[in-house]
Amino acid sequence: MCLRELIAGSSANAVRVQQGISEVLRTGNLQGKPALIVHGRADTQVPVAFSSRPYFGRNKIVEGANSKLSYIEVTNAQHFDAFLAFPGYGDRFVPAHRYYIQAMDMMYANLKTGAALPASQVVRTVPRGLTGAVVNPITAANVPPIKTVPAVADQITFSNNIVTVAD
């Protein structure tokens, strides 16, 4: 009830919270500019459900069919690639930086030659795991590429003001 009052109420604290929220809201209007969001689904510091997914939905509401935003969610990835050398990270997570580089290459091709940006999708990675206490070497099978046209089961869609993300 206390949290609800801060959002919907009229107390001094509620007004202050509502004002703060309005100061940080983003319109989601990219004004037709092409954009790619790549986000690791395993990111617990910046969860997809509180950042990239809602922004993707807001953009689709605001820009509709004119939106040129593609949203890529990478399983088993998070934004602390520097931690992959620490115990417990390398065997469970894949490097997100690989997808950042690929997304930048895709954006460059789009801007330079008009190449299509990828459709919004989930990229399904495979953690390396361990052999004994040693992290297995990373291979292409662990970090498949972003596809220009993903399989239906991997698509992220927007319809009737609802973002649907493949499991």
Q: What's residue 80's pLDDT?
A: 85
Q: Rounded distance, CA 103 to CA 118, Å?
A: 9
Q: Please give the residue range of the domain that contains residue 44.
A: 31-165
Interacting residues of 127 by C-beta distance below 8 A, sequence separation 6+: 76, 91, 92, 93, 94, 142
Following DSSP, what letter does each residue of 70-117 receive, concatenated?
A: EEEEETTEES-GGGGGSTTTTTT-EESHHHHHHHHHHHHHHHHH-PPP
Interacting residues of 45 by C-beta distance below 8 A, sequence separation 6+: 78, 79, 80
Residue 97 to residues 19, 38, 39, 62, 121, Cα–Cα distance (Å): 36, 10, 10, 29, 17
Q: What is the mean pLDDT of the chain?
A: 93
Q: Count of alpha carbons within 13 Å of 142, Cβ hemisphere only?
A: 18
Q: What's residue 127's pLDDT?
A: 96
The answer to whether residues 20 and 14 touch, using CB atoms and an 8 Å cutoff, is: no
Same domain, 86 and 8: no
pLDDT digits (tens, 9 = 90+) for 78-133: 988 888 888 888 899 999 999 999 999 999 999 999 999 999 999 999 999 999 99
**What is the number of structural domains in the chain?**
2
Same domain, 114 and 47: yes
pLDDT surpassing 80 at residue 24: no
Q: What's residue 117's pLDDT?
A: 98
Same domain, 15 and 40: no
Q: Rounded distance, CA 60 to CA 81, Å?
A: 30
Q: What's residue 145's pLDDT?
A: 98
Q: What's residue 106's pLDDT?
A: 98
Same domain, 5 and 67: no
Copy the structure tokens of residue 74. Answer: 């990478």
| pTM reported for the whole predicted model | 0.84
The answer to whether residues 29 and 62 touch, using CB atoms and an 8 Å cutoff, is: yes
Same domain, 16 and 55: no
